[in-house]
Protein backbone atom coordinates (compact mmCIF):
# COMPACT_ATOMS: atom_id res chain seq x y z
CA UNK A 1 0.00 0.00 0.00
CA UNK A 2 1.39 3.39 -1.02
CA UNK A 3 1.95 5.92 1.75
CA UNK A 4 -0.19 9.07 1.52
CA UNK A 5 0.64 12.49 2.92
CA UNK A 6 -2.38 14.76 3.30
CA UNK A 7 -1.42 18.42 3.46
CA UNK A 8 -3.26 21.49 4.65
CA UNK A 9 -2.74 24.54 2.41
CA UNK A 10 -3.04 27.91 4.20
CA UNK A 11 -0.32 28.26 6.81
CA UNK A 12 1.18 24.86 5.96
CA UNK A 13 2.31 24.93 2.33
CA UNK A 14 1.69 28.57 1.46
CA UNK A 15 1.65 31.85 3.35
CA UNK A 16 -1.69 33.04 2.00
CA UNK A 17 -2.50 35.79 4.49
CA UNK A 18 -1.24 38.68 2.30
CA UNK A 19 -3.80 37.91 -0.41
CA UNK A 20 -6.54 36.92 2.04
CA UNK A 21 -6.06 40.14 3.98
CA UNK A 22 -6.08 42.20 0.80
CA UNK A 23 -9.35 40.61 -0.35
CA UNK A 24 -10.99 40.95 3.08
CA UNK A 25 -9.94 44.59 3.26
CA UNK A 26 -11.32 45.34 -0.19
CA UNK A 27 -14.61 43.83 1.01
CA UNK A 28 -14.51 45.95 4.16
CA UNK A 29 -13.82 49.14 2.22
CA UNK A 30 -16.65 48.37 -0.20
CA UNK A 31 -19.01 48.28 2.80
CA UNK A 32 -17.53 51.40 4.42
CA UNK A 33 -15.96 49.42 7.26
CA UNK A 34 -12.49 49.66 8.85
CA UNK A 35 -9.81 47.32 7.49
CA UNK A 36 -7.67 44.73 9.31
CA UNK A 37 -3.98 44.06 9.77
CA UNK A 38 -2.52 40.84 8.35
CA UNK A 39 -2.12 39.27 11.83
CA UNK A 40 -5.78 40.00 12.55
CA UNK A 41 -6.81 38.21 9.36
CA UNK A 42 -4.44 35.31 10.09
CA UNK A 43 -6.33 34.70 13.33
CA UNK A 44 -9.60 34.41 11.36
CA UNK A 45 -8.55 31.85 8.72
CA UNK A 46 -8.87 28.08 8.71
CA UNK A 47 -12.61 27.44 8.46
CA UNK A 48 -13.45 28.52 4.92
CA UNK A 49 -14.63 31.69 3.21
CA UNK A 50 -18.08 31.87 4.80
CA UNK A 51 -16.67 31.70 8.31
CA UNK A 52 -13.91 34.17 7.44
CA UNK A 53 -16.56 36.59 6.17
CA UNK A 54 -18.67 36.14 9.29
CA UNK A 55 -15.69 36.72 11.57
CA UNK A 56 -14.61 39.85 9.70
CA UNK A 57 -18.07 41.43 9.94
CA UNK A 58 -18.51 40.31 13.55
CA UNK A 59 -15.26 42.07 14.42
CA UNK A 60 -16.91 45.26 13.17
CA UNK A 61 -20.16 44.51 15.07
CA UNK A 62 -22.26 44.17 11.92
CA UNK A 63 -23.94 41.32 10.06
CA UNK A 64 -22.62 40.40 6.60
CA UNK A 65 -24.96 41.30 3.75
CA UNK A 66 -26.34 38.62 1.43
CA UNK A 67 -23.67 39.17 -1.24
CA UNK A 68 -20.63 39.34 1.06
CA UNK A 69 -19.51 35.71 0.85
CA UNK A 70 -19.90 35.56 -2.93
CA UNK A 71 -18.11 38.88 -3.35
CA UNK A 72 -15.17 37.79 -1.19
CA UNK A 73 -14.97 34.42 -2.93
CA UNK A 74 -14.91 35.99 -6.40
CA UNK A 75 -12.38 38.67 -5.44
CA UNK A 76 -10.05 36.28 -3.65
CA UNK A 77 -10.19 33.67 -6.44
CA UNK A 78 -9.23 36.34 -8.97
CA UNK A 79 -6.31 37.47 -6.79
CA UNK A 80 -5.30 34.24 -5.10
CA UNK A 81 -1.60 34.28 -6.05
CA UNK A 82 -0.60 37.95 -6.08
CA UNK A 83 1.49 37.99 -2.90
CA UNK A 84 1.07 34.45 -1.52
CA UNK A 85 4.29 32.47 -1.35
CA UNK A 86 5.39 28.91 -0.62
CA UNK A 87 7.11 28.47 2.70
CA UNK A 88 10.86 27.82 2.36
CA UNK A 89 11.74 24.33 1.21
CA UNK A 90 8.22 23.20 0.37
CA UNK A 91 8.72 22.41 -3.32
CA UNK A 92 12.00 20.45 -3.03
CA UNK A 93 10.78 18.54 0.02
CA UNK A 94 7.48 17.56 -1.61
CA UNK A 95 9.32 16.57 -4.79
CA UNK A 96 11.66 14.35 -2.78
CA UNK A 97 8.75 12.75 -0.92
CA UNK A 98 7.00 12.01 -4.19
CA UNK A 99 10.15 10.35 -5.51
CA UNK A 100 10.29 8.25 -2.34
CA UNK A 101 6.88 6.85 -3.23
CA UNK A 102 4.58 9.08 -1.18
CA UNK A 103 1.22 10.05 -2.65
CA UNK A 104 0.61 13.72 -1.93
CA UNK A 105 -2.82 15.33 -1.57
CA UNK A 106 -4.11 18.65 -0.29
CA UNK A 107 -7.05 18.78 2.13
CA UNK A 108 -8.11 22.39 2.66
CA UNK A 109 -11.19 24.39 3.64
CA UNK A 110 -10.38 26.83 0.85
CA UNK A 111 -12.75 26.51 -2.15
CA UNK A 112 -11.31 23.97 -4.59
CA UNK A 113 -11.11 26.36 -7.55
CA UNK A 114 -9.09 28.90 -5.58
CA UNK A 115 -6.93 26.14 -4.11
CA UNK A 116 -6.12 24.68 -7.52
CA UNK A 117 -5.32 28.09 -8.99
CA UNK A 118 -2.95 28.83 -6.11
CA UNK A 119 -1.33 25.39 -6.15
CA UNK A 120 -0.77 25.69 -9.90
CA UNK A 121 0.73 29.16 -9.51
CA UNK A 122 3.27 28.03 -6.89
CA UNK A 123 4.18 24.86 -8.81
CA UNK A 124 2.77 22.25 -6.42
CA UNK A 125 -0.32 21.05 -8.32
CA UNK A 126 1.55 18.61 -10.64
CA UNK A 127 2.83 16.74 -7.55
CA UNK A 128 -0.63 16.02 -6.16
CA UNK A 129 -2.88 12.99 -6.53
CA UNK A 130 -5.91 14.91 -5.24
CA UNK A 131 -7.19 18.24 -3.97
CA UNK A 132 -10.05 18.18 -1.47
CA UNK A 133 -11.40 21.72 -1.09
CA UNK A 134 -13.93 23.16 1.30
CA UNK A 135 -16.63 22.80 -1.36
CA UNK A 136 -15.43 19.52 -2.91
CA UNK A 137 -17.60 17.30 -0.70
CA UNK A 138 -20.51 17.59 1.70
CA UNK A 139 -18.07 17.96 4.59
CA UNK A 140 -15.13 20.15 5.56
CA UNK A 141 -12.54 20.00 8.31
CA UNK A 142 -12.77 19.39 11.25
CA UNK A 143 -15.19 16.70 10.01
CA UNK A 144 -13.02 13.60 9.46
CA UNK A 145 -15.18 12.74 6.46
CA UNK A 146 -13.48 15.59 4.55
CA UNK A 147 -10.07 14.08 5.20
CA UNK A 148 -11.25 10.56 4.37
CA UNK A 149 -12.93 11.68 1.15
CA UNK A 150 -9.71 13.42 0.05
CA UNK A 151 -7.72 10.34 1.02
CA UNK A 152 -10.04 8.12 -1.03
CA UNK A 153 -9.70 10.49 -4.00
CA UNK A 154 -5.93 10.07 -3.74
CA UNK A 155 -6.22 6.29 -3.63
CA UNK A 156 -4.89 6.01 -0.08
CA UNK A 157 -5.88 4.23 3.13
CA UNK A 158 -6.04 5.62 6.67
CA UNK A 159 -3.55 3.13 8.10
CA UNK A 160 -0.94 4.24 5.55
CA UNK A 161 -1.55 7.98 5.72
CA UNK A 162 -0.47 11.05 7.67
CA UNK A 163 -1.99 14.52 7.92
CA UNK A 164 0.10 17.71 8.09
CA UNK A 165 -1.52 20.95 9.21
CA UNK A 166 -1.23 24.05 11.38
CA UNK A 167 -4.77 24.26 12.78
CA UNK A 168 -6.85 22.38 15.34
CA UNK A 169 -9.20 21.47 12.47
CA UNK A 170 -6.40 19.36 10.98
CA UNK A 171 -5.65 17.66 14.31
CA UNK A 172 -9.33 16.94 15.04
CA UNK A 173 -10.10 15.69 11.52
CA UNK A 174 -7.06 13.41 11.52
CA UNK A 175 -7.89 11.98 14.95
CA UNK A 176 -11.47 11.27 13.91
CA UNK A 177 -10.29 9.60 10.71
CA UNK A 178 -7.77 7.38 12.46
CA UNK A 179 -4.85 9.16 10.78
CA UNK A 180 -1.83 10.46 12.67
CA UNK A 181 -1.17 14.19 12.40
CA UNK A 182 2.07 16.15 12.19
CA UNK A 183 1.53 19.71 13.39
CA UNK A 184 3.10 22.43 11.23
CA UNK A 185 4.71 24.57 13.91
CA UNK A 186 5.61 27.36 11.47
CA UNK A 187 2.00 28.08 10.49
CA UNK A 188 -0.80 30.34 11.69
CA UNK A 189 -2.13 28.20 14.54
CA UNK A 190 -0.70 28.60 18.06
CA UNK A 191 1.30 25.63 19.27
CA UNK A 192 -1.46 24.80 21.76
CA UNK A 193 -3.50 23.55 18.80
CA UNK A 194 -0.98 20.71 18.38
CA UNK A 195 -2.38 18.80 21.35
CA UNK A 196 -3.01 15.23 20.30
CA UNK A 197 -0.66 15.41 17.30
CA UNK A 198 1.84 12.63 16.70
CA UNK A 199 4.62 15.22 16.46
CA UNK A 200 5.35 18.91 15.94
CA UNK A 201 7.57 19.88 13.01
CA UNK A 202 9.38 23.22 12.93
CA UNK A 203 10.01 23.11 9.17
CA UNK A 204 8.75 21.21 6.14
CA UNK A 205 12.08 19.34 6.09
CA UNK A 206 11.28 18.03 9.58
CA UNK A 207 7.89 16.90 8.26
CA UNK A 208 9.67 14.64 5.77
CA UNK A 209 11.91 13.19 8.49
CA UNK A 210 9.00 12.56 10.85
CA UNK A 211 6.77 11.14 8.11
CA UNK A 212 9.38 8.61 7.04
CA UNK A 213 9.94 7.63 10.67
CA UNK A 214 6.22 7.20 11.43
CA UNK A 215 5.51 5.37 8.15
CA UNK A 216 8.75 3.83 6.88
CA UNK A 217 8.84 2.45 3.36
CA UNK A 218 8.07 -1.25 3.16
DSSP 187: S
- Residue 31, H or E segment: none
- With 0-12 / 13-18 / 19 or more C-beta atoms within 10 angstroms meaning exposed / middle / buried, residue 89 is middle
- With 0-12 / 13-18 / 19 or more C-beta atoms within 10 angstroms meaning exposed / middle / buried, residue 34 is exposed
Q: Write phi, then psi, for 217 (nearest 5 degrees).
A: -65, 140
**Among all residues, which ones are annotated catalytic?**
8
Helix 168-177 and helix 144-153, axial crossing angle in degrees, nearest 10: 70
Question: Alpha-carbon distance 36 to 152, whole Å?
Answer: 38
Distance from the Cα of residue 40 to its chain's centroid:
18
- Give the number of residues written for the chain: 218
Q: Write phi, then psi, for 38 (nearest 5 degrees).
A: -60, -45
| 3-state class (DSSP) for residue 111 | coil
Amino acid sequence: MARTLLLDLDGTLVDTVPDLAAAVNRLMRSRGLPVFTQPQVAAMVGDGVAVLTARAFAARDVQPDAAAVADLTADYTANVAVASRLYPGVLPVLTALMRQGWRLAVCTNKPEKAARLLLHSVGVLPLLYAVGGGDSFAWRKPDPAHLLATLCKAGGKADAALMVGDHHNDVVAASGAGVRCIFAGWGYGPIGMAEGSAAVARTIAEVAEIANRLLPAR
